Amino acid sequence: MKQLIENCKECVLSIYESFDASHDYAHIERVLKNAEKIMTTEPLANQAVVRLGVLLHDVEDAKYYSEKNPTNFDILTSLGVEGELIEEILHCILSVSFSGGNEKEITSLEGAIIRDADRLDAIGAIGIARTFAFGGAKGRKLYDIDEVVRLKMSEMEYRQRGTASVTHFHEKLLLLKDLMITEEGKRLAEERHAFMVLFLEQLENEVNK
């Protein structure tokens, strides 16, 4: 398994390094660490599925789609992964995205671990940094006090409206703590969520003074 993971890392490195800092290879490394922490409490998880799923989970992200990049299926096939295992990994990846609250149902422990690990990297101090990095890359406002927060939206509405970065906290990031699935994911999310709340309170104080 170790060599398979290393080969997969080599396949995806150049893809992620073409993304902005919010979704670059450093993000993948952090999510992998989060997944490994969760797996210490979930001994029944298929570690190969989790690790490969993490490494590939943003390759086909709609925000960065390019015909030049291979698909997840292409990569897994080139690595010699068996068909049934490929199907399991691809299914996990499809259930990771928040999609404006329209996420797909989690049907496996491995999918739950990958989703929780990814969402942990979307909150806390690193989540704050990533939000503003993505907003800057897309030319979005830091904040907009007049912007209406949407708690119900379609996936298309979620992806097409370029909201201010602070609005994104209220439309997604502050919701993630209560959407964690694994017990370890829930535990790890608590401190990160609390830090985001403090940050937003301080930001509001500075803006309104």
Residue 4, pLDDT > 90, answer yes
Query: Do 162 and 140 touch, CB atoms closer than 8 A?
Result: yes
* Count of all residues that appear for the chain in the document: 209
Higher pLDDT, 89 or 99: 89
Residue 101, pLDDT > 70, answer no
Q: What is the CATH architecture assignment of 2-208?
A: Orthogonal Bundle (1.10)
Q: Write the single-letter amino acid at 165.
A: S
pLDDT, position 159: 65
pLDDT digits (tens, 9 = 90+) for 129-158: 999 999 999 999 999 988 988 877 777 776
- Alpha-carbon 176 to chain mean position: 11
49 Cβ neighbours under 8 A, 6+ residues apart? 85, 88, 89, 92, 110
Concatenated DSSP letters for 57-115? TTTT-GGG--TTSPPHHHHHHHTT--HHHHHHHHHHHHTT--GGGTPPPP-SHHHHHHH
Percentage of residues of the chain with pLDDT beyond 70: 97
Which helix (H) or strand (E) segment holds residue 206: the answer is: helix 183-208
Percentage of residues of the chain with pLDDT beyond 90: 83
pLDDT digits (tens, 9 = 90+) for 185-194: 999 999 999 9
42 Cβ neighbours under 8 A, 6+ residues apart? 109, 113, 182, 184
pLDDT class for 38, splitting at 50, 70, 90? very high
| Spatial distance between the Cα atoms of 180 and 57, rounded to a whole number of angstroms | 17
Higher pLDDT, 161 or 194: 194
Backbone φ/ψ region at 151: left (φ over 0), alpha (ψ -120 to 50), beta: alpha
pLDDT, position 169: 97
User: Which residue bears the tokens 């535990």?
Assistant: 187
Q: What is the largest CA-CA distance in the chain?
A: 60
| Spatial distance between the Cα atoms of 46 and 43, rounded to a whole number of angstroms | 8
Higher pLDDT, 156 or 200: 200
pLDDT, position 196: 98
Please provide the average confidence, as pLDDT, over all residues in the chain.
Answer: 94
pLDDT digits (tens, 9 = 90+) for 167-185: 999 999 999 999 999 999 9
Query: Do 109 and 117 touch, CB atoms closer than 8 A?
Result: no
**Least confidently predicted of 13-22, 85-94, 143-152:** 143-152
